[in-house]
A and B are shown apart, each in its own frame.
Chain A
Amino acid sequence: MTRGRRRILTGALVVLGLGVAVLAWKLPPAAQLAVDTSAKWACQCRYIDGGDDSFCVAEDPLGFGGTDFRFDPDEQRVTTSIWGLVDATGRYEPGSGCMVR
């Protein structure tokens, strides 16, 4: 490998590494915010307004296909997750509303 190619490869690796670092820094909080938002929204829709599961999934303001919704009507809660990496649970508490823990 010539010196020029080696420099280009090194530069590309540095840029890639920086990109991965930025993603690792920014993505988890953004993903957590996304599942928190979806959990709040779905809980409101399902347990306060009375929508059914499929309707409330379709109401998700993020419209992000990778979010998984699990409704537990007995406990009046919904858990949202993205690819199993981050999750959030919204639970309806009478008198308070939907609290995301």
Chain B
Amino acid sequence: MRVLLALLVVLWAGPALALTPLPPQPEGVKWPTNEWSMAAPAKDVETGLLDALLDVVFSGEGPVPGTRALLIVHRGVLVTERYAPGFDADRRFLSQSVAKTVLGALAGVAVREGKVALDAPAPVAAWRDDADPRRAITVRNLLQMTDGLDFNEAYFNPLTSDVLPMLFGNQRHDMAAYAASRPPAETPGTRWAYSSGTANLLSGILRDAVGGTRESYLAFMKAGLFDPIGMASAEPEFDASGTFVGSSWLHATARDWARFGLLMLRGGVWDGRQVLPAGWVDFMRTPQAGGVYGAMTWVNPGKRLSTMPADTFIASGHRGQVIAMVPSKDLVIVRFGRTGYGDYDALYNVLGETMTAFPDVAKVRINP
């Protein structure tokens, strides 16, 4: 009976827990540290479908108006690069919350370097009192947004919002301190709640861990992430206290955003170098309770985004900024633009349909 129960548990939990292996860079495809390898889509890509969907994406009057850049990286090669009129490869695009996934990657670098401990209490000066229940909050909780802090992410009511005064209002000068001042609402680790305050609190911890100044933080970001992958256009923004606004504000060209997506798809490996710690991307893309979020990264195990494969993991930002990584297809899709609030579902549907034009890695292995 116990064996049967154990088998049932494995059968039930197995598919949900298993992560699709991250595909390595194919032999002979150079890493795009300096230049992207560019080519037309391979013969096993449904180019007719792909072209039709790209036309939909760029149609000003289609279901997802406002696309400004769309890049597709398949098997490490840039196979699609299109821009709306007025935009080009030299133009930077604002991350919005895509920055959170970059922040998650930077946290990995800090953990590997021993500057931050994943499961130790988050080193926040305002929480030093032994009686403060927030002392139980760990860096892992922050990365997974299960810290339990009371933070109102609403953008439409300045009277109740926490995110508006933090980003734009009278709390903008030290965003991490403001987030740290929020009272506890839940026991840490028990409830997921999306919070830009949490991201900036984590960023403040990284700032302190790498030297405590804007200059030292910027140097850490460049040396640990941007320079190794050739993300030369990356321009992070900081608050007056020297904290990178990791919730929202990182600017880069679409090609550089694609570099970041490829780094994630390759498990943090870049041209023979382990830029992010081994296993860190798996940690970031492992679903937490609720099944929509990993660590500073959106995930899709329950196919909430129904047209996208279940193994898709996503850096996603306000108004439709998207970097979608699909291990089962060795695919990265980068989309930047200005999508209406009511068009998010349509955007993700079209991007998911675009993914169907690309073959599964497993099928290629069976029938090359």
Contacts and interface: CB of A to CB of B under 8 A. Distances in A.
Given A44-B249, A95-B218, A49 B237 contact: no
Given A40-B168, A95-B214, A96-B237, A50 B158 contact: no
A73 interface: no
A96 B238 contact: yes
Contacts of B245: 97
Contacts, number: 55
Nearest to B244: A97
Interface stretch (B14-22, B87-95, B102-110, B349-357): B87-95
Nearest to B251: A48
A95 B215 CA distance: 8
Contacts of B92: 48-50
A64 B164 CA distance: 17
For the complex of A and B, 9 pairs with smallest distance between CB atoms: A97-B237, A37-B168, A49-B92, A33-B169, A48-B251, A36-B168, A96-B238, A33-B158, A30-B158
Nearest to A50: B91
Interface in B214-241: 214-215, 218, 235-238, 240
Nearest to A58: B338
Interface of B: 86, 90-94, 158-159, 164-165, 167-169, 172, 214-215, 218, 235-238, 240, 245, 249, 251, 338
A86 interface: no
5 contacts: A33-B165, A36-B172, A37-B167, A48-B251, A50-B90
A97 to B, nearest CB: 3
Interface in A68-101: 95-100
A26 to B, nearest CB: 7
A50 B89 CA distance: 12
Nearest to B238: A96
Contact of B169 (A36, A44, A55, A96): A36
Interface in A11-38: 26, 29-30, 32-33, 36-37
Mostly, the A contact residues are helix
Interface of A: 26, 29-30, 32-33, 36-37, 40, 44-45, 48-50, 55, 59, 95-100
Contacts of A97: 235-238, 245, 249
B11 to A, nearest CB: 48
B214 A49 contact: no
Nearest to A38: B168
A36 B192 CA distance: 31
Most chain A CB inside 10 Å of its own CB: which residue of B214, B237, B245 = B237
Nearest to A55: B86
Most buried by B among A48, A55, A98: A48
Nearest to B93: A49
Contact of A44 (B158, B218, B237, B240): B237
B86 A49 contact: no
Given A37-B168, A44-B237, A44-B249, A26 B214 contact: no
Contact of B94 (A37, A49, A100): A49
A48 B235 contact: yes
A95 to B, nearest CB: 6
Given A33-B168, A37-B168, A49-B92, 18 more contacts: A26-B159, A33-B158, A37-B164, A40-B167, A44-B94, A44-B249, A44-B251, A48-B92, A49-B94, A50-B90, A50-B91, A50-B92, A96-B214, A96-B237, A97-B235, A97-B238, A97-B249, A98-B237
Nearest to A37: B168
B93 A99 contact: no
B12 to A, nearest CB: 44
Given A96-B237, A97-B238, A49 B251 contact: yes
Given A49-B91, A95-B214, A97-B237, A33 B172 contact: no
A49 B256 CA distance: 14
B240 A99 contact: yes
Nearest to B90: A50
A86 B245 CA distance: 26
Contacts of A33: 158, 164-165, 168-169
A56 to B, nearest CB: 12
A8 B214 CA distance: 61
Contacts of A49: 91-94, 251
A15 B164 CA distance: 30
Contacts of A59: 338
